[in-house]
Amino acid sequence: MFVLVNLKAYPCDAERVARAAATVADDTGARIAVAPQAAHLESVAATGVETWAQHVSGAGHGSHTGSTLAAAVADAGATGTLLNHSEKRLRLADVDAGLRAAEDTGLETVVCANNPRQIAAAATLGPDMVAVEPPELIGSGTPVSRADPDVVREAVAAADEVNPPVPVLCGAGISTGADVEAAADLGTEGVLLASGVAKADDPESVLRDLVSEV
C-alpha cells in the first residue's frame, strides 16, 4: 500500500514529518511519500523521502505568473504530483494539461476525484493513479473506508471499467493502520491522507501505525 501524506497548508514542520516518513519507510520497506507546499519541496526532498508536489500547472515556461511548473517541482526534487485535489479543483482541460506537463517531466501522477463517476473520468485521462475522496469526510477524522465503503468499492470498479491498469487510492479521515488495512480490503492500492499526520504531535508513531497492518 502506497501512503501519500499531503501536508496541505497545515502549520506543521514539513522537514520533521519528512524525516519521520523517510525513517519509517527505510525501517519497514513501506512506500511513503510526502507532499509539502511548493516552497518546501527542496528541503523535504533533501531528507531523502519520496517527495510529491500538491499541484502543478499545465503551463510551460513563459508569462504565467503564479504558476507552479512541473519542471520546477521536478528540479526541486519532486518525483510525483497530485492534480485536481478537492481543495484545488481544476477544469477538465487543466487536469489534462497538468497530466501532460507532468508526464513530459517524468513526474508520477495521482488525479483526485470526489466520487466514482469522476474517478472514471479521471482514469480515462491516463494518470498513474487516481484517488477517491468524498469532500465531506476530508479532515473529519472519520475514515472513508468505514464511513462510506461503497464509494471506495465503486471507485475501484469505475477505474477498472475504463482503464484497468490504473490503481485507486482512497482518502479522507484515514489515520490508523486499521484504516489502511480496510482500504486495502476494499481493493485500493494506497491511501491519501493529511490531518492524521500533519496535525500529530508525534508523526513518526502515526506513520509506523499506518504501515503496520499491510
Ligand X SMILES: O=C[C@H](O)COP(=O)(O)O
Known binding site for substrate: residues?
6-8, 138, 173, 194-195
Applying CB under 6 A, the span of 120-128, 146-154, 158-166, 170-178 interacting with ligand X comes to 170-178
- Choose between 167 and 171: whose C-beta lies nearer to ligand X: 171
103 by Cβ neighbours in 10 Å (0-12 / 13-18 / 19+) ranks as middle
Among 182, 194, 206, 207, binds ligand X (CB under 6 A): 194
Q: Which is nearer to ligand X, 60 or 177 (CB)?
A: 177
Instruction: Give the max Cα distance, the chain.
Output: 48
Q: Which of residues 17-76 bind ligand X (CB under 6 A)?
A: none
Give me the residues paired with residue 2 across strands: 31, 190
Any catalytic annotation for residue 55? Answer: no
Binding to ligand X, residues 68-87 (CB under 6 A): 85-86
Backbone angles phi, psi at 2, to 5 degrees: -85, 130
- Give the interface segment with ligand X, choosing from 12-20, 42-50, 155-163, 192-200 (CB under 6 A): 192-200
For ligand X, give the closer residue by CB, 50 or 133: 133
Is 139 an interacting residue with respect to ligand X (CB under 6 A)?
A: yes
Has 85 been annotated as catalytic?
yes
Q: Which of 50, 55, 133, 154 is catalytic?
A: 133
* Nearest residue relative to ligand X (C-beta): 195
Torsional class of 173: left (φ above 0), alpha (ψ -120 to 50), beta (otherwise)? left
Of 49, 134, 56, 45, the residue nearest 94 (C-alpha): 56
Residue 61: burial class (beta carbons within 10 Å; 0-12, 13-18, 19+): exposed
Strand partners, 35: 6
Q: Count residues contacting ligand X (CB under 6 A)?
A: 15
Residue 196 sits in the site that holds ligand X (CB under 6 A): yes
Please identify which residue in 1, 3, 6, 40 interacts with ligand X, judged by CB under 6 A.
6
The single residue of 85, 181, 189, 213 carrying the catalytic annotation is: 85
- The residue among 50, 55, 99, 98 whose CA lies nearest residue 73 is 55
Residues 133 and 124 sit within 8 Å (Cβ to Cβ): no
Which are the catalytic amino acids?
Answer: 85, 133
Which residues would be at the binding site for ligand X (CB under 6 A)?
6, 85-86, 133, 138-139, 171-174, 192-196
